Amino acid sequence: MIILALLAAVLAACSSVDDAPQPVDPDDDDIGIVAELSRKTITWIDSTSFSNGKSTQAYTYSYRTQDAFGDTIRLTALIGWPDAPVSPTNLLIGCHITITDDRQAPSNFSIGNAASDVGILLMHAVEGSLASSNALVIMPDYEGYGGTVQRTHPYLCQQLTARQVVDAVRAGMKFFKKKGGEMASDWKSVVVGYSQGGAVAMATHRLIEQDRLSDELHFCGSVCGDGPYDLMATFRQYVSDDKIYNTVVMPLILQSLCEYNASLKAYQPTDFLTSDFVNTGVLDLINQKNLESGEIQERIETYILAHPGSLKLGEDENGLFLRPEMILRPECIVYLRGENVAETDKPKVEALIRAIQANAVWSSWSGYDNWQPQHPMELFHSVNDEVVPFINYTQAYNYCRQYFNGRRYDGSFLSLHVGSGYLFFGFYCTALIEELLQGKASVTNQDNRT
């Protein structure tokens, strides 16, 4: 099967806040210093037909950027290009999925996490005949992973993460040139991601256009899979469905917003989460950054089963879930339903709503007006996604008046969030990248079934 081939192992031969962060110029002698951290050569075996038996030279590097408060920090990233005498014909900007285990960060890429979005995207950094091979691949660690693992990860803080991704790309291009690399004369760039990475990819697409970097980066569009582009719509869908399946997501979001959004600086995640849910230890498990999200979910479920009480697991054809009222405090649920809350609770819930709304990809970001894409977007989304509801896709379709080429997957095979991710990377991702690079993507608002 194609999926199994794509997810095969590799052999490694060697080792939003009110004031938005500003772009970092990688040509500035002071700011643009890019530090090489490690180097490895990867030989791909039993992988894709275009990468099998070929090699990638990969490096990790650190670069200078800014955090949510305008302070200078150094983040880390992975970069790779063909270990062959060819000039890259495309720049593939990879935005990684939601992770809670630092070992899954791109800069920590190894045999152990090769069958992942990082590994599959890095496979394009080989010599080949496809438009999407011969790639210079850059995959940044999001803040809070890699070299900044001690920091809180700004989960779904769209403008901030997009800014840091763009800084990583511009620094990575400088690093590539310092290593003697040279892009082909007609090279193009694409930004790609799934899940959190899908939202980051769309946010990066937006920032490239609004920062007028399209010409510099030879930008031709984005590929976004099952992304939470609209947090408000996502929260309201959870409440409407009365089910939250991946319960790790909610504390990740709240911890991020409380840390990095000015309107929530007076609050903690525990101000919005029920005490029973906090008692599962979910916040401590997240902050350890040594467990995958699925492992954290399993520990939450184990705790609930061992401590019968107000938290009761439900189950349906999509798996185990908790009702939103078991995770979020009552005043949050009431407000999300559009009902009145007590005057004493209004400041808190209104601050939360402002923070959530500020992190929609098409909200009015600090320093920018609302946005309409100027380059094609290739969207893929499972109609049955239980973690990132399909409302995110329909909101994007309704918002974008052009340059939207959507594919809604409504089959029964691999239709839930994780399975849809395997489907995306196994069958669709490379084909969608090919469409963009070959100039075949639609420039009109299209919604296709697949």
Bridging pattern class, strands 55-66 and 72-82 = antiparallel
Average pLDDT of the residues in 201-217: 97
Is 419's pLDDT higher than 50? yes
Is 13's pLDDT higher than 80? no
Question: What does the pLDDT look like over 194-208, one tens digit per residue?
Answer: 999 999 999 999 999
Question: What does the pLDDT look like over 18-44, one tens digit per residue?
Answer: 345 556 555 554 445 799 999 999 999
Average pLDDT of the residues in 317-335: 96
Is 16's pLDDT higher than 70? no
What are the domain boundaries of the chain? 2-229+366-449, 235-358
**pLDDT band, residue 444 (cuts 50/70/90):** confident
Average pLDDT of the residues in 296-309: 95
Average pLDDT of the residues in 272-278: 98
The rounded Cα 388 to chain-centroid distance in angstroms is: 12
* Nearest residue to 114 via CA among 165, 42, 57, 168: 42
Residues 172/137, Cβ–Cβ less than 8 Å: no
Name, in order, each residue with C-beta under 8 angstroms of 409's C-beta and a sequence gap of 6 or more. 380, 381, 382, 383, 415, 420, 423, 450
* Nearest residue to 345 via CA among 275, 271, 251, 274: 271
Share above pLDDT 90 across residues of the chain, in percent, rounded to a whole number: 84
Name, in order, each residue with C-beta under 8 angstroms of 109's C-beta and a sequence gap of 6 or more. 58, 78, 118, 119, 122
**pLDDT for residue 47:** 83
Amino acid 306 reads A
Residues 50/129, Cβ–Cβ less than 8 Å: yes
- In terms of phi and psi (left: phi > 0; alpha: psi -120 to 50; beta: otherwise), the region of 53 is left
* Nearest residue to 73 via CA among 139, 24, 16, 39: 24
Is 112's pLDDT higher than 90? no
pTM, two decimals, is 0.93
Cα gap 430→75, rounded to integer Å: 28
Question: What does the pLDDT look like over 362-401, one tens digit per residue?
Answer: 999 988 988 999 999 999 999 999 999 999 999 999 999 8
Q: Does domain 2-229+366-449 have CATH number 3.30.43.10?
A: no
Is 264's pLDDT higher than 90? yes
The two structure tokens encoding residue 418? 């994780």
Average pLDDT, the chain: 91
Is 91's pLDDT higher than 60? yes
